Copies of this chain bind each other. A is one copy, B any other.
Amino acid sequence: MNYQQILNEIFKELKSGDNLGYVASYIPELAKINPDNFGIHLTTIDKKEFKVGEWDTKFSIQSIAKVFALSQAYQLVGDKIWERVDVEPSGTSFNSLVQLESNHGIPRNPFMNAGAMVVCDILISKLDNPEEDFLSFLRDLTPLGEISYSETIAKSEKAVGYRNIALCNFLKSYGNLENNPDRVLDFYFNICSIEMSCQELSFAFLYLANDDFRSSRNLQVLSMSQAKRVNALMQTCGFYDESGEFAFRVGLPGKSGVGGGIIAIHPDKYCIAVWSPRLNEKGNSYRGMQFLELFTTRTESSIF
């Protein structure tokens, strides 16, 4: 399959078309990004690389970090994690409090904000130095460059993150947090503030594509069963209230972030990261969704 040529073609087509939607503005720092950035990086399981555009510019990975957090917590506590967070798609927006009320404090899945906060709570309880240890976990996955938190982004989000503060205290009121909500929020905002490039992301997620579920540094990250389950979760819940649409149009497990990044996994084949900051009305990258739909159609690589 001539991935590079297909990347180039679709990139060119979309570049010349409309770039609709808005850069996420609720986090003031994110609003400063140039909305016309557009990069793609694909890594195959045998580590061949294909890339186009701003593939090596770092951007705020935001909710994509939830997949890393889930993976590390899953590695640490195993299936006990599912006692505190469910595995069902939500049918509501990513920061809905309604769902949490009707499920008595059990988030529907680990990719909704509330679910990710429960995962953060587990990491805080289990890791000696949560911020450091989480970064080490990431560095093992992507030995390409320096990965770090963006204090500016984390602060910016915290200053106006009233809804996330509400969610986190709501979780605590149901007894589904061990740690103080302020601590959980700090960690949550920190991991969402991490900056990575498309290249770093497509390398980092190889552990979900490889058939031995090892990282690019050859560390075993998850068991086969665990990795398949993380993929299944991304397929059903990775795109907020557009998860069905993504499965329908793209046909790969994936996860998006409000920074405009999307990663998608083709088990046994490749991992692809796309970045374009303008978001559609459901909060997912406008060009990212378009790109991946065209890509899996032309490469006939939907998993379905």
Contacts and interface: CB of A to CB of B under 8 A. Distances in A.
Interface in A285-304: 297, 300, 302-304
Contacts of A243: 88-89, 236
Contacts of A172: 162
A91 B97 contact: no
A98 B101 CA distance: 7
Contact of A101 (B89, B96, B224, B297): B96
Interface string A158-178: 000011011111101100000
A272 interface: no
Interface string A222-258: 0011011101110111000111110111010100000
Interface of A: 86-92, 96-99, 101-102, 108-109, 162-163, 165-170, 172-173, 181, 224-225, 227-229, 231-233, 235-237, 241-245, 247-249, 251, 253, 267, 297, 300, 302-304
14 contacts: A88-B91, A96-B101, A163-B170, A165-B165, A165-B181, A166-B168, A166-B169, A225-B297, A228-B251, A231-B304, A232-B251, A232-B304, A233-B247, A235-B247
A226 to B, nearest CB: 11
B228 A302 contact: yes
B225 A248 contact: no
Closest 7 CB pairs of A and B: A91-B91, A231-B304, A89-B89, A88-B244, A162-B173, A163-B173, A166-B170
A162 B166 contact: no
Stoichiometry, as copies per complex, reads 4
Contacts of A163: 169-170, 173
A76 to B, nearest CB: 19
Contacts of A244: 86-89, 109, 232-233, 236-237
Nearest to A89: B89
Contact of A90 (B91, B231, B245, B251): B91
A242 B304 contact: no
A267 B252 CA distance: 13
Contacts of A89: 88-89, 91, 236, 243-244
A99 B88 contact: no
A102 B96 CA distance: 11
Contacts of A108: 91
Contacts of A92: 91
B303 A267 contact: yes
Nearest to A163: B173
A276 to B, nearest CB: 23
Contact of A97 (B98, B224, B233): B98
